[in-house]
Structure 1
Amino acid sequence: MAETGFKSGFVSIVGKPNVGKSSLMNKLMGENLSIITAKAQTTRHRIMGILNGDGYQVVYSDTPGILEPKYSLHEAMMSYVKVSLEDADVILLVVSLEDKFEPELFERFLKITTPILLVMNKIDRAKGSQVLDKSAYWKQTLPNIQDVLPVSAVTGENVDQLLPKLLSFMPEHPAFFPQDEYTDRSERFFASEIIREKIFLNYEQEIPYSTEVSIMSFKEEPDIIRISAVIYVERMSQKGILIGKGASLIKKVGIEARLAMEQFFRKKIFLETHVKVADNWRKQAFKLKQFGYLE
């Protein structure tokens, strides 16, 4: 049983694609739980980070960037955002320094009664009075927000000010998770996400968005973890691009993923990858269910 005054609750981290939500989540956690690339729509799942401290437990949810769904995968991604907002005790609405109010994306927040802290990210790029001007703009545009907090998730500037603010809105409640847990996701999940991150970093155009990674086996031995993964693409032509001439590109992805996994799992990794075609998987409910996007 938690002691009197113990605070515990859920924080939903939401915003448009490419505003730095995942970088912010990682900085708040002090762990690289969410993959980060310069490309939009990198995050596809809801990833929880569990931060335990003296007298509190904060459960952060990094969510996919808010967008207008174009196909079934997008709809599944937006369902994660919806559930995260419904669960939240506090909402961190993340915007970039240059963002403006877009009714189709931001109007929903005018109707939410949950406390909202607007996090204005990327202030390391600010010029002159831009931070003050944009803070005033958001307070006027979204009058129901509790405060505007300017930060830089890249440099870490002002990120340490977020936790005290969040705790001031957090209810008194026993911890939701054991004190030694730091995420709700499995090791298999993080292995697949690391491979997907390296695909996003090494390929252009549609390839990263057409790709899904499934971990077929994850065998942990005393000195090594042996991982077998299948990378799925939507069309046969994409398979050739992903593999590259003489398998050069897929080898590069494998090497980079293995090194990142060794750093993440703090153990030697043996990784083998295979590439297969799953026709139009982003638009087919049964394949999305197979890949864990639908119940």
Structure 2
Amino acid sequence: MTIQPRDASEDAALPPVAAAPAPVPVEGQRCGLVAIVGKPNVGKSTLLNALVGQKISITSRKAQTTRHRITGIRTQGAAQYVFVDTPGFQTIHGTALNKSLNKTVVGAVSDVDLVLFVVEAGSFTPADAKVLALLKPGIPVLLVANKLDNVHRRGDIAPWLQSMQERHAFTEFVPMSAKQPKDIERLLGICEKYLPEQPWWHAEDELTDRSEKFLASEMVREKLFRLTGDELPYTSTVVIDKFEEEAGRTSKRMLRIAATIVVEREGHKAMVIGDKGEKLKRIGTETRVELEKLLDAKVFIELWVKVRSGWADDEARVRSFGYE
């Protein structure tokens, strides 16, 4: 089994970089791939960030916030968990973008050691069923019943779990809230049992195999979605035009980033820019603050907005924007 290699075209990796020396094998180590799957907006990215212990996957209330296979790494004790967050499987819109995202989901569950099937506790919809149907036999699947804190009648959970067992041969049930540290530790303990005994694939302090350039584009997109809410269609995306580290500095790193927000209509462009440019300025400011914490660097960021009508249904353009 292999990990997807980091794209050599990306400029810099989240320290420590993927090119760090290979870990020295130690007897008793466990390591494996754990896919996190589910329909949009069930809390997969929040769960990944909690499992890793640091934010590496963006979140918002907008469906399809996650668009790429995001790898998060957690090393604890003798175990190294390599978590793979996936886009929510989309069953409504058949655009080229959504077909690409769904392809990412299918690929992520094809060669893993464990699957975390995430649903909202007490709920099971046709969209959940579509994702469940993707899971292949022979791979253990944990039913992660997330957002348990939103269930007011806890007595309803037991019969619901019984009904879920009739839908699929889940290995274990894990009712929980991704916002509760004790639930995260419990889930990690359960996952560890399913990791093969083998040497770690990554250095002990690695958190992700995604580059800083990729994380920057994701952070802009998160702030874009959070600050525009439901007004802006999910088809907006972000392209990094420049990602440069200033050479010769002996103190704190300095990064200069230029990014383009791509929308489909002139009206969307005006929405992103806002009155006198205030909305775009706020997106940039919040992105900068978050990136400076994440990358431990001084960040200068410039944002532009361009209209590319129909890009989400153009396969060539979807690929040109970095989607598989």
Superposed pair shares fold, TM > 0.5: yes
* Distance in 2 (alpha carbons) for counterparts of 1:31 and 1:269: 19
Aligned to 1:21: 44
1:136 aligned residue: 162
State the SS of the aligned residue for 1:95: strand
Match of 1:118 among 139, 143, 149: 143
Say which is worse superposed, 203-212 or 188-197, in terms of deviation.
203-212
1:104-253 equivalence runs, <5 A? 104-109=130-135, 111-128=136-153, 129-142=155-168, 144-205=169-230, 207-221=232-246, 222=249, 223=252, 224-253=254-283
State whether residues 62 and 229 of structure 2, in contact with CA within 8 Å, keep that contact through their aligned partners in structure 1: no
Say if 2:304 is the partner of 1:274.
yes
CA separation in 2, counterparts of 1:52 and 1:202? 34
Instruction: Assess if the C-alpha contact under 8 Å between 1:22 and 1:34 holds in 2.
Output: yes
Deviation at residue 209 of structure 1 after TM alignment: 1.1
2:104 is matched with which residue?
80
1:291 — aligned with what?
321
Residue pair 2:245, 2:256 contacting (<8 A) in 1 also: yes
Letter in 2 for 1:268: K
Aligned to 2:121: 97
Q: Deviations over 1:140-170 (max 9, x none)?
A: 322x110110110123352211112111111
Residue pair 2:40, 2:63 contacting (<8 A) in 1 also: yes
Partners of 2:217 and 2:240 within 8 A in 1: yes
Partner SS state of residue 153, structure 1: coil
> Which aligned runs of 4 or more in structure 1 are off by greater than 6 angstroms?
none
- TM-score, normalised with respect to structure 1: 0.93
Q: Point out where structure 2 has 5 or more consecutive residues left out of the alignment.
A: 1-23
Q: How many residues are aligned here?
A: 292
1:58-77 deviation per Cα after TM superposition (whole angstroms, max 9, x unaligned) = 10000001222511111111
In 2, the alpha carbon distance for the partners of 1:86 and 1:117 equals 16
Is the Cα contact below 8 Å between 1:231 and 1:273 reproduced in 2? yes
> Is 1:262 paired with 2:292?
yes
Whole-angstrom CA distance in 1 between matches of 2:130 and 2:301: 43
Aligned-pair distance for 1:286? 1.4
Residue ranges of structure 1 left out of the alignment (5+ in a row): none
Counterparts of 1:84 and 1:64, CA distance in 2? 10
SS at match of 1:108: coil
Aligned partner letter, 2:119? V
The alpha-carbon deviation at position 45 of structure 1 amounts to 0.6
Q: Which residue of 1 aligns with 2:21?
A: none
CA RMSD of aligned residues (A): 1.7
Judge conservation of contact 2:272–2:279 (CA < 8 Å) in 1.
Answer: yes
Matching residue within 42, 50, 72 for 2:65: 42
- Structure 2 matches for 1:56-71, cutoff 5 A? 56-68=79-91, 69-71=93-95
**Post-superposition CA distance 1:112-166 (Å, at most 9, x none):** 2200001000111222313323222222322x11011011012335221111211
